Structures are given as C-alpha cells and as structure tokens.
Amino acid sequence: MTVIAACQLALAVGDLAGNARAAESAVRDAAARGAQFVVLPELSNTGYVFTGPAEARALAAPAAESPALRQWRCLAEELDIVIAGGFCELGTDDRVYNSAAVVDGSGTRALYRKAHLWDTEKLIFTAGAATPPVTDLGFARVGLMICYDLEFPEWVRLAVLAGADVIAAPVNWPAHGPPPAGERPAEIIRAQANASVNAVFVAVADRCGAERGTDWVGGSVIIGPEGYPLAGPADPGKPMVLTAACEFLLARNKATSPRNDVLTDRRPVLYVDLHTAR
Amino acid sequence: MTVIAACQLALAVGDLAGNARAAESAVRDAAARGAQFVVLPELSNTGYVFTGPAEARALAAPAAESPALRQWRCLAEELDIVIAGGFCELGTDDRVYNSAAVVDGSGTRALYRKAHLWDTEKLIFTAGAATPPVTDLGFARVGLMICYDLEFPEWVRLAVLAGADVIAAPVNWPAHGPPPAGERPAEIIRAQANASVNAVFVAVADRCGAERGTDWVGGSVIIGPEGYPLAGPADPGKPMVLTAACEFLLARNKATSPRNDVLTDRRPVLYVDLHTAR
C-alpha cells in the first residue's frame, strides 16, 4: 500500500513566497501522515487569475531554474517522497506554458504542458503539443495532466494506454455557482468516471482562496479504480490535505468480469474518427 | 421543448408476451404524459439472462420480421411518437445480435448492434461492427447505443461528433452489490460524465425484476447536457416511467466559456493512439 496525498491550497496570484510556504506546509503535513506521493494544484507557485500575458510571463521561470521545482526537489529529497504539481513555465522557446512536473530527490522526472487550455488561458499560455507523460515511480506509474485536460476522456485514456496506474491532476477548478441540490459538482463526477472507465486511481488537487473575483470548486479528491472517492471530496473553500492508502497494483488488473477488460474490450479499429474528425 | 421518457421495465427472460405487455403499458403511460420520444431497455422483448446461445437464438427474430419492432411501429404510429429500444436480433447472416432500433410510424429509422459485449454476451451474440447511428428525428438527432457501450467514452464521443443531441441508451445494468454509502452507482456516474463532457442529453432505460439470480441497478435516468439528472435516477427494483422536458437545441451549443467548446477544444491530432493502440 502506498499513501498518496492531494493538497488543496489557498493561493494568491503573484505571491510566490506565500504560495511556496503554503505548498511546503501541506507537503510536510502529507509526509508526516505517511504520504509517499503528494499532488499540488495547478499553477501552485504563481496563482491563476493573471491580469494578462505580461503578468504571467513576469512570474514564469524555465523548468531548469524554477524556484518551485527546486523547492519540490529539496522537499522530496529530505522527506523521501515524490511531488507532482503545477507551475508557470517559461519555455526555452520563450513561450509561457501552464505546466506540471513530477519531481523526486533526483530531480524532475516528468514535465508536462497543458494541452487543453481553459478560457483566458488561451490568451496567456501556449498549448502543449505532447500527450500526458507516464512515469514509473516504482510504487506506481503516474500519468500527469492538468485541470481541463480531464474533460477530455481521450486524454485520460491515452495515459492509461501508456500504462498509468494513477492520474495525478493538478487543477484550479473555477466555480460556476453551486451544483443542483444534492449533486456533486460535475468536475468531480467527470473525474470519477475517468477513474471508473479506466480502472485507475485519480488524484485531484484543487485550490481555494478567491482571487480577483474567481472562486473555486475546492473539490480535491482521491478516487479508486471503481470510481468512488477514497478520500474527499474536500470541503470547498478550505485548505486541506487529503490522504488515502492505495494498492496501486489493483490498477494493473483491468478485468471487470470473467470475460471483460476495460482496455482489451475497446474497439480501436472503429475509433478512427476520434483522430480524424474536425 | 420535447418530452422524452425512459421506461424502467420488469421483464422476464423468454416471456415474449408478458414483456410486450410491459413495454406497451409503459409506452402508453409515457405518451399520455406527453412524451414524443420513448426509450425502452436492452433486450426488452426477450429478457437478458439466457441459459446460452440456443435459448437466445430461439427467441431472436430478423429485424424485418421482429414482433417487437412491429409492435413499436404500431404504437409509434397510433401515438405519434418515436420509440428506441433493445431487442434480440437474428441477422440475415444467421448470427444473433444484441440490437436496438429507433422506430417511428414509418418504420425502422435506425438499427444498431451492440459493439462492446458484456461477459456471457460474448458466448451468445456477435459483436456489432459499426459505429452508433445518429438519426435526425426533427426535434432531435438521436444517437443509439447499448449498455456496456456507455463505458467507452470513445463511443459516446463518436456519436456526438456525428451530430447526436441525445444519446438513447437501452441498458440492462447487472447489479454488483450496493455502491458505497452515499454514492450513486458508478453506472450512473459514467452516464452523467458522458453527458457533461459532450454537452448532450443522455436517456438511459434500465430494467428491474431479478432473473435467474441476476439483479439490476434499476438506475434509469435522463441527464441534461451539464451532466445532472433531469429525471431520476429511478428507484431500483421498481418499474417506472421517467419523463423530462428537454430543449434539445441546447445540445447544439458546445460552448462552455467565451473561449471554449467541448468539441473544437479537442486535440485530435494528438489522439492517434486511441485508434492504433492495442
């Protein structure tokens, strides 16, 4: 069993020092509770609601020099854990990316640039041009994607076809008003379905702390391969560290009946239009 | 607005006359409540838990001669409605299919053969080799698929890319014990996510009535394009007719923010492995 943590953080745009303190505190809390793998939110170093491209660019740093990635590496080495989180990246191509990384004591194990951009992100960031990376951490193979990417079941499936046992998803889910009475926010329902149809774990780290008029779902959650939460959903609006003990090897068994397997039951030959349409 | 109905029926395997009466009664109830489009369960004429291929074959009929399709056509003509439902088909190729049809007063508008087969269905039926049909009924374009097909988000996406405003899904969801306390069955969560990520309506007609040791989720539901139920989920174990008034044109608007559209935001060039993997 491996303990995984999803950290819901209160962040503030532009407050690099304060955001770094919030991340460190949550990571130390998670490690103290036995977590070996810790997920932080999207853009966890900078905050999200930029005034425009100039502000994001001013706060971005190359992955090789990112203070956030350096911090995660130091914490990962000290605490003997692995951290996945989102940060604001200045590419070597001088473009700004909404990125995420998987970092352990040896350094950056995977780097990912968000491929499906939400709303004003399209004015600020360049979309990534690569599929989600899958990194073998020994205790699990981790697929990495960011927020709106989760709304494309194609994207989660690609990570699972590439071997992911768990999807680590840094998010900043903007709130669009409360869901209907008695309903979970659709963001969480979609994450549950992603876990269920792929028989994988999904760990979502959301954020809280209203920012320039935007509030957040605050729906951090750790979901098991049957699609049900193992921890969370978090209380909206409240920073918290969710942990769950996961048997990640369960995700290697895709059988759902004596004659069914969620991957080999696919009919890829019939799926050609997913690749060619539009 | 168009009223749609999802009929949860108590069926019994092999009882063609009793099942036909159950279907007729539900369809008349739905039409009396204003429904213009009525969805019946999977294999609604024959029941589901066959002893084996021979029993299914003995109960199957060619689409052109199927008493079930003839019944639906008569009801559709009399009541001026459209019916979608599942039936046991003997193909002109002498193979047995788990099929569904969309039928109006003019006849069979669409025929579909389940492409993703569940468990012992693999011993009984030949899998379909065509993508889900999308039929323009004037008030809506209806995509048709069956039960386990819904667990392949690829399949729902294909129907939506082909123009479906609503997915009609005859199902027989076998129960695997109750979900965790406070949780909806994963079958319903997956259907909700399918609606949400595609901004389409989804109408699921499940069944009830334990059959040779198999019980059913009894989770009939009509879901709106935001992923939340408009009617249901039904009471498990109880026959019932759910109805919801739907503005199907809402499903033609795929915008989810001033800069987002659930279809045009896809990155099909990056999805090639969905078609080629395995």
The pLDDT tens digits of the residues spanning B211-239 come to 999 999 999 999 999 999 999 999 998 99
Which among A193, A228, A278 has CB closest to B190? A193
* Residues of A with a known catalytic role: 42, 114, 147
Average pLDDT over residues B109-129: 98
Work out the minimum CA distance from A112 to partner chain B, whole angstroms.
14
Of A129, A193, A263, the CB nearest to B278: A263
pLDDT above 90 as % of chain A: 97
Q: Which helix (H) or strand (E) holds A90?
A: strand A82-90
Secondary structure (3-state) at B6? strand
The rounded distance, in Å, linking the Cα atoms of A236 and A218 is 4
CB contact under 8 Å between B259 and A115, yes or no, is no
Q: Report the percentage of chain A scoring pLDDT > 70.
A: 99
Whether residue A118 is predicted with pLDDT greater than 90 in this model: the reply is yes
| Residues ≥6 apart with Cβ < 8 Å to B256 | B199, B262
| Residue B114 falls in the annotated catalytic set | yes
Dist CA A75 CA A71 (whole Å): 6
Q: Does the predicted model carry a pTM greater than 0.90?
A: yes
B278 pLDDT tier (thresholds 50, 70, 90): low
User: B133 to chain A: which residues are within 8 Å by CB?
Assistant: none
Mean pLDDT of B4-22: 98
CB contact under 8 A, A278 and B268: yes
Cβ-defined contact of A275 to B275 (cutoff 8 Å): yes
- Angle among Cα B216, B155, B24 to the nearest 5 degrees reads 45
Contact A225, A200 (CB under 8 A): yes
Q: Which CATH class is domain A2-276?
A: alpha beta
Burial environment of residue A263 by CB neighbours within 10 A (0 to 12, 13 to 18, 19 or more) = middle
State the average pLDDT over residues B110-128.
98
Predicted confidence band at A278 (pLDDT cuts at 50, 70, 90)?
Answer: low
B201 touches chain A (CB under 8 A): no
**What was the pLDDT predicted at B245?**
98
Q: How far apart are CA A201 and CA B36, in angstroms?
A: 41
| Percent of chain B's residues with pLDDT above 90 | 97
User: How much is the pLDDT for A53?
Assistant: 98
Quote helix, strand, coil % in chain B, to nearest 5: 30, 30, 40
Q: Give how far the C-alpha of residue A222 lies from the chain's centroid of Cα atoms, to the nearest Å.
A: 11
Site of tokens 């319903």? B188
Give pLDDT tens digits for A177-212: 899 999 999 999 999 999 999 999 999 999 998 999
pLDDT recorded at residue B237:
87
Interface ipTM above 0.85: yes
Whole-angstrom distance, CA of residue B154 vs CA of residue A161 = 13
Among the partner-chain residues A122, A157, A257, the one whose CB lies closest to the CB of B274 is A157
| pLDDT score for B147 | 98
Chain A residues touching B116 at Cβ < 8 A: 265-267
Length of chain B in terms of residues written: 278
Average pLDDT, chain A: 97
Are the CB atoms for B240 and B8 separated by under 8 Å? yes
Distance CA B161, CA A237 (A): 37
Contact B227, A186 (CB under 8 A): yes
Asked whether the beta carbons of residue B119 and residue A259 sit closer than 8 angstroms, the reply is yes
Mean pLDDT in residue range A67-71: 98
What are the residue ranges spanned by the domains of chain B? Answer: 2-276
A190 vs B: CB within 8 A: yes
Buried b (16+ CB within 10 A) or exposed e, B176-210: eeebeeebbbbbbbbbbbbbbbbbbbbbbbbbbbe
CB A97 within 8 A of CB A113: yes
Angular region, A172: left φ>0, alpha ψ -120 to 50, beta rest: beta
- The residue from B7, B42, B187, B246 that is catalytic is B42
